[in-house]
Amino acid sequence: MRILIVSDTHGRDAGLRELLEQIAPIDMLIHCGDSEGSEDYIRGIAECPVHIVAGNNDFFSELPKEDEFCIGKYHVLVTHGHYYYISMGTELLKEDARARGFNLVMFGHTHRPYLEQDKDITILNPGSLSYPRQEGRKPSYMMMEIDKEGEAHFTIHYLQ
């Protein structure tokens, strides 16, 4: 199973559209917030199941603040991260996720890719396809691939 994880596209969807054409087919797309009104467009171009949450710039959106679902053996929480003060660190998010029984957490908001894998929980941020903020400022996304044994593998990718 191949899952594309993106965040913080802020209504600038050309990069996402090109990326989907390059990496197709995928089995699922997860957007960690700040789609800024383009959620219907994203669902239309994805050609697979899509999970999108509201970010701090998704004003008047009917998107959920969080989404929880399972991917194989993984109990997944998707949030934008701003409610967890994620810019200050991941500790509050990790603590809440563990208390609620999640073992995989995806967030956005910081526009910086991040991957932390502990023995009981994985926390990740795909960065931003539209407004990257990490050193080098390359647009980024993540791929999650589930192998035949049901184990997830994560890779951070950068657009050229």
State pLDDT tens for residues 63-89.
999 999 999 999 999 999 999 999 999
State the pTM of this model: 0.97
Residue position matching structure tokens 């993540």: 142
State pLDDT tens for residues 108-129.
999 999 999 999 999 999 999 9
Contacts of 156 (CB under 8 A, 6+ apart): 113, 115, 126, 127, 140, 141, 142
Cβ atoms of 24 and 47 closer than 8 Å: yes
- As a CATH number, domain 2-158 is 3.60.21.10
Cβ atoms of 96 and 86 closer than 8 Å: no
List the domain boundaries for the chain. 2-158
State pLDDT tens for residues 22-32.
999 999 999 99
